Amino acid sequence: ELVKDVKKYKKSLFIVGDGAKLCYNILGNFEFGAELAPEPLRFQSAWGVCMAAADKAAQSVHELLPVYLRLSQAERERQERVFDRNNL
C-alpha cells in the first residue's frame, strides 16, 4: 500500500518520523528517490508543524479535522474494559 502511494509522487521524498528507517529500507528497494531525513530533522515538533502550515490557506477552526494514528488512551482503556467484561 505504501509503495502504491509513493509511486504517485514525481519529486524526491524525504522520509521522516518514528518509522523512517524502516520505510527507507523498504522504499530503497524500489528506486523512488526517497531520502532519509537527517537525524535532527527526522522527528516532528510543534515548531515544524507550524512552519509546514504557515503557507496554507487559513481555515476556520470548525473546518479542521484531526487525523489520529491510534486511539486515545481513554478509548483504548475503554475497549480493554469492554473486552474484559465480554470475556468473563
Residue 81 has a pLDDT of 93
The span from the first CA to the last CA of the chain, in angstroms, equals 38
Q: For residue 31, what are the domain limits?
A: 2-86
CA 61 vs CA 12, 47, 64: distances in Å: 32, 19, 6
- Structural domain count, the chain: 1
Residue 74 has a pLDDT of 92
Which stretches in the chain have pLDDT values below 50?
none
- Degrees (nearest 5) of the Cα angle 11, 16, 19? 125
Global pTM value: 0.43
Residue 29 has a pLDDT of 64
